Chain A
Amino acid sequence: MNKEHSKAKKYGMVIDLDKCTGCGACMVACMAENNVPFKKDETNKLDSITWMRVYKLTNGKSFPNTEICYLPRPCMHCEGQHGHSPCVSVCPATATDYSQETGIVSQIYTRCFGCRYCMAACPYHARYFNWWDPVWPEGMEKSLNPKVSVRMRGIVEKCSFCFHRYQSAMEKAYYEERKELEEGEYQTACTQACPADAITFGDLNNPDHAVCQLKKSKNAFRLLERLGTNPKVYYVSTREWVRRSGDNYLRGYEKEGKVKKHRELAGH
């Protein structure tokens, strides 16, 4: 066995919800970086494409006890069981794939034929359909990112963890005869844009990466963990009500049966 063969990575995020101010810089950076199309009128959020979407959560209490939390939601790049994430396993044309090398769930735009089964499968609403052909304001097409293909009408798209950046970083590393990337060499656009430094990105398998330590925090949680989606986006909050907003809890049921099984599967 080749000892120099690089170890499988598992890229993921840890988002500190106590730091997030809900400014939306991550959403803007994501759209600009990934050539995400937009409509003239974006008031109907049900057909707007937002790879990164910031949700506003509240503790439901009235003033003066009201608390707000903003929760950025990229694609969770679910691993499921052995790479059978909810969307990957259902796509009939293998147009979405789970990479065992990086842990990233990809979307193959040229193969997707727009059945939208993956959207039905995703509980996070992280997948978006191109209801229209992308139209850019005059002149704006010149500022599109040349490393990211624009998508046509009738197909599904989603957050790719800025996979083109991974490819660029790997190309550079190969050129320099390296097989491994430094933590800072591959970072997503949202991570870099966040002014509050709420988003940390890296290899969850690599103990030298910050995310590997951050995810072990007692305040870390993932969205809808009990469904067995095994997401790679972690959230951190010191507020209990925020942590409990990450899943559906039933009194007296939490430690039983499948919930426990799913947590064990996820390495908790």
Chain B
Amino acid sequence: MDSALIPKGVRRCSFGQFILFIAIVGAVLLWGVFAMLLCWLKGLNQTNMNDYYGFALWIWADLAVIALGGGAFFSGFLKYIMGKDELKNIINYAVLIGFICYSSALLILAIDIGQPLRGWFIFWHANVHSMLTEVAFCLSCYFAVLTIEYIPLILENRQLDRVPFFHNLSHNMHEVMAVFAATGAFLSFFHQGSLGGVAGVLFGRPFAYREGIFIWPWTFFLFTWSAAACGPCFTIFVTWLTEKITRKKLVKDNVIELLAKISGWMLATYTFAKIIDTWYWAAVTAPSAGFWLPDFYSGNALYGPWILFLEIIICGVIPAFILVTDTGRKNRTTLMTAVILAVIGVCLNRWVMVLQVMAVPVMPFDKWVLYYPSWQEVATTILPVAYGVILIAISYRYLPIFPQEKELNPAD
């Protein structure tokens, strides 16, 4: 039925199967849209946030998807700036995943603010001292860059490509893509960092506060670093998942292994830096504010030392070790284990830097306050996932996302 739109020389499931899949995921999406409308129409009283948890699940989701979307900027940086040409075989997918992650982050932010119609105030009345201002500017600009990077891919659709104007536009955009990739990398280094700065500058919250260089706390650099390390891991993970679902090999092993190797070294150096940061924070920064390390990990039902161990050792040291070794990368099981651990690690880091910051009591007579999200918060957090799945499904079906697909899956 839609065969005229499907790229030549590749096989896709039947249109009926495709529509059924979209309908199932679409139902989840509608559930999220319903929750989103409730939050917009009735207000944030639909959530379980409170005056202790001004930042909660949504801000975590924002930080997490932006870190995971870091595969786009870092792969682009490696391909266009560092000249790793093999990555051209995965860059389209990295851009698509990045586009989904960043558009999701913007959507979540639009739900998260109490007065969505005033969202533009962040640009109009910008406070240059606020890390959130920097986030808003860089994030919006980078989303525009990602859109520019995604457009030529859309224009490569079989039918659109037949229109001379679109064909030439796509070709010319490809020619100048290095400029956008460089711009994107520059913007990403800043906004990934500013997201780390959001927590790191909170000098009233000893659990989050870090010293640093000039106006940038150490978390600024750690967030950029971890996004560059774990974003590509997420790209690898989603590629693997897509291969499992479509039951096809879509990207050659050498491409995946190259990206995994670079990710591994980034993760290894990041984990080393994170250990030093944690040690300095525990030995100097936190005590100067009146806290020993155990104060942050005791006296409550959830946040124990296990979370630090899980983040740094299980999801940092172990995957880094696997990814930097040749045998670790070549074995698909260990590779995917490492990639999944790295993804969990970065998500856990963002959780800790948002939710645990809110949970730790600062005044001596205050108490730990824990929180669980309402169904509306959960649904609106799943909403971008459903949206992402649908966009990937449509893009995969109608666009030549994987340049090696034909070669790896020759038609009968």
User: Which residues of chain B have C-beta atoms less than 8 A from A153's C-beta?
Assistant: 43, 114
In the bound complex, how far is the Cα of B122 from the Cα of A111, in angstroms?
A: 10
Contact A224 B201 (CB under 8 A): no
Q: Is A55 an interface residue (CB 8 A)?
A: yes
Chain B residue numbers with a CB within 8 Å of A11 are: none
Q: Is the CB of B363 within 8 A of A223?
A: yes
Those of B31-62 within 8 Å (CB) of chain A: 43-45, 49-52, 54-55
Q: B364: which A residues are within 8 A, CB to CB?
A: 244-248
Cβ of A92 and Cβ of B204 under 8 Å apart?
no
Q: How far is the CA of A120 from the CA of B362 in the complex (A)?
A: 12
B368 within 8 A of A: no
- Docked-complex contact B201 and A90, CB < 8 angstroms: yes
Per-position binary interface string of chain B over residues 98-128, scored 1 when its CB falls under 8 Å from any chain A CB and 0 otherwise: 0000000000000011111011011011110
Question: Which A residues are closer than 8 A to B by beta carbons?
Answer: 44, 46-48, 55, 57, 71, 80, 84, 86, 89-95, 111-117, 119-125, 127-133, 152-156, 223-224, 226-229, 244-250, 253, 256-259
- Is B121 a contact partner of A124 (Cβ separation < 8 A)? no
Q: Which of B78-86, B168-176, B287-295 contacts A (4 or more CB under 8 A)?
A: B287-295
Q: Which of A93, A114, A224, A259 contacts B363 (CB 8 A)?
A: A224
Q: Contacts A128-B51, A224-B362 given: A93-B126 contact, CB under 8 Å?
A: yes
> Interface extent on B, as a size class?
35 or more
Selected from A46, A94, A156, the residue in CB contact (under 8 A) with B369 is: A46
- Given A247-B290, A253-B287, CB of A90 within 8 Å of CB of B130: yes
Contact indicator A122/B204 (Cβ below 8 Å): yes
B280 CB-CB contact with A under 8 Å: no
The answer to whether B51 and A111 touch across the interface, beta carbons within 8 angstroms, is: no
Any A CB within 8 A of the CB of B231: no
Residues 163 to 202 of chain B near chain A (Cβ within 8 Å): 198, 201-202
B51 touches A117 (CB 8 A): no
Q: Is the CB of B288 within 8 A of A90?
A: no
Q: Are B43 and A131 in contact (CB under 8 A)?
A: yes
List of A residues within 8 angstroms of B127 by Cβ: 91-94
- CB distance B358 to A120 under 8 Å? yes
Ranked nearest first, the 7 interchain pairs of A and B with the lowest CB-CB distance are A114-B114, A248-B290, A154-B114, A116-B54, A119-B54, A113-B118, A46-B50
6 A-B pairs besides A114-B115, A131-B49 with CB distance below 8 A are A113-B115, A113-B121, A115-B112, A117-B132, A119-B54, A223-B363
Contact between chains at B44 and A131 (CB < 8 Å): yes
Known: A90-B131, A112-B115. A132 touches B43 (CB 8 A): yes
Q: Knowing A93-B121, A119-B51, A250-B290 touch, does A113 contact B366 (C-beta < 8 A)?
A: no
**Is the CB–CB distance between A93 and B125 below 8 Å?**
yes
Majority SS at the chain B contact face:
loop
Taking a contact as CB atoms under 8 Å apart, the answer to whether B115 and A86 are in contact is: no
For A80, the chain B residues whose CB sits under 8 A away are 203
Q: Using Cβ atoms and an 8 Å threshold, which residues of chain B touch A89?
A: 129-130, 201
B136 interfacial by beta-carbon distance below 8 Å: yes
Given contacts A90-B202, A119-B54, A226-B288, contact A124 B363 (CB under 8 A): yes
Considering the chains assembled together, what is the distance between the CA atoms of A91 and B131 in angstroms?
9
Is A129 a contact of B122 with CB atoms below 8 Å?
no
* Least CB separation from A55: chain B residue: B365
Chain B minimum-CB-distance residue to A90? B130
Q: How far is the CA of A111 from the CA of B121 in the complex (A)?
A: 7
Q: List 14 A-B contacts (CB under 8 A).
A: A44-B50, A93-B124, A93-B125, A114-B44, A114-B113, A117-B130, A120-B357, A121-B205, A123-B362, A125-B51, A133-B43, A152-B115, A227-B204, A227-B362
CA of A47 to CA of B55, assembled, Å: 14
Q: Is the CB of A84 within 8 A of B129?
A: yes
Q: Are A86 and B203 in contact (CB under 8 A)?
A: yes
B206 within 8 A of A: yes
Task: Tell me if B147 is interfacial: C-beta within 8 Å of chain A.
Answer: no
Q: Is B133 an interface residue (CB 8 A)?
A: yes
Give the nearest-CB partner of B45 in chain A.
A131
- From B369, which residue of chain A is reached at the shortest CB distance? A46
In the complex, residue of chain A having the shortest beta-carbon distance to the beta carbon of B198: A117
| Residue pair A249, B290 in contact (C-beta under 8 Å) | yes
- Cβ contact of A121, chosen from B119, B204, B291, cutoff 8 A: B204
B114, B119, B122, B201, most chain A CB atoms within 10 A: B114
| B52/A46 in contact, CB under 8 A | yes
- Within 8 Å by CB of B202, from A120, A257, A258, lies A120
Q: Encode B268-311 as 1/0 by CB contact (under 8 A) with A.
A: 00000000000000001001111110010000000000000000
Q: Would you list which residues of chain B between 349 and 377 have a CB under 8 Å from chain A? A: 357-358, 362-366, 369
- A234–B30 CA distance with the chains assembled, in angstroms: 53
Q: Specify which of A92, A127, A129, A250 is in contact with B292 (CB 8 Å cutoff).
A: A250
Minimum C-beta distance from A152 to chain B (A): 8
Chain A nearest CB from B410 CB (Å) reads 53
Choose from B52, B126, B131, B202 the contact partner of A94 (Cβ within 8 Å). Answer: B126
B122, A92: Cβ atoms under 8 Å?
yes
Enumerate chain B residues within 8 angstroms of A114, measured Cβ to Cβ: 44, 113-115, 118
- CB pair A123–B43 under 8 Å, yes or no, is no
Give the CA-CA distance A224 to B209 in the complex, in Å.
14
Residues of A within 8 A of B54 (CB): 116-117, 119-120, 127, 129
**In contact, B114 and A116 (Cβ under 8 angstroms):** yes
Alpha-carbon distance A156/B55, docked complex (angstroms): 13
Contacts of B362 on A, CB cut-off 8 Å?
Answer: 123, 224, 227, 248
Pair A123/B205 contact, Cβ less than 8 Å: yes
A228–B133 Cα gap in the complex (Å)? 23
Residues of B within 8 A of A128 (CB): 51
B112, closest chain A residue (CB): A115
B287 engages A250 (CB within 8 Å) = yes
CB distance from A226 to the nearest CB of B (A): 6
Q: In the complex, what's the smallest C-beta–C-beta distance from A22 to chain B, in angstroms?
A: 13
Of residues 232 to 255 in B, which have CB atoms within 8 Å of A's CB atoms? none
Give the distance to chain A from B351, nearest Cβ to Cβ, in Å. Answer: 14
Question: Complex: how many Å from CA A196 to CA B78?
Answer: 69
